[in-house]
Amino acid sequence: MMKNLLFILLGTVFCYSQSNRFIYEVISKKDSTSENLTEENFNLDTTPDDIAYYNRLYYINDSLYNANGQYGFKDYKLTSFIIKKKNNNSYQNYEYIGDVNFYKITEKAGQNWKISDSTKTFGSYPVQKAVTEFGGRSWVAWFTQDIPIPYGPYKFNGLPGLIMELYDSKKEYYFKLIRSEKIPEDYKRVTLQNSISRAITVDYTKLNKLKLELYDNPFKYIMNGRLTLPEGKKLLLDDGTVLSKEQLKPAEANERKKLKAFNNPIELDKAVQYP
Q: In sequence order, what E strands does the chain have?
A: 20-28, 38-46, 50-55, 81-85, 90-96, 102-108, 114-122, 125-134, 137-144, 162-168, 173-182, 200-201, 234-236, 242-244
Q: Which pLDDT score is estimated for 227? A: 46
pLDDT values of the chain reduced to their tens digit, one per residue, 275 residues: 444 444 445 444 445 557 999 999 999 999 988 899 999 999 999 999 999 999 999 998 888 877 776 666 566 788 999 999 988 889 999 999 987 789 999 999 999 999 999 999 999 899 999 999 999 999 999 999 999 999 999 999 999 999 999 999 999 999 999 999 999 888 889 899 999 999 999 999 999 999 999 898 887 665 444 445 455 454 545 555 555 555 666 677 888 888 888 899 999 999 999 99
What span, in angstroms and rounded, lies between the C-alpha atoms of 275 and 260?
Answer: 9
- Please provide the DSSP assignment of 161-220 as one string: SEEEEEEETTSSEEEEEEEEEEPPTT---HHHHHHHHTPEE--HHHHHHHHHHHHHSTTH
Q: Which pLDDT score is estimated for 78? A: 85
Q: What is the pTM of this model?
A: 0.87
- Kind of pairing, strands 50-55 and 137-144? unpaired
What span, in angstroms and rounded, lies between the C-alpha atoms of 25 and 40?
Answer: 6
Domain ranges of the chain: 2-182, 204-270
Q: Which pLDDT score is estimated for 18? A: 79
Question: What is 2-182's CATH topology?
Answer: outer membrane lipoprotein receptor (LolB), chain A (2.50.20)
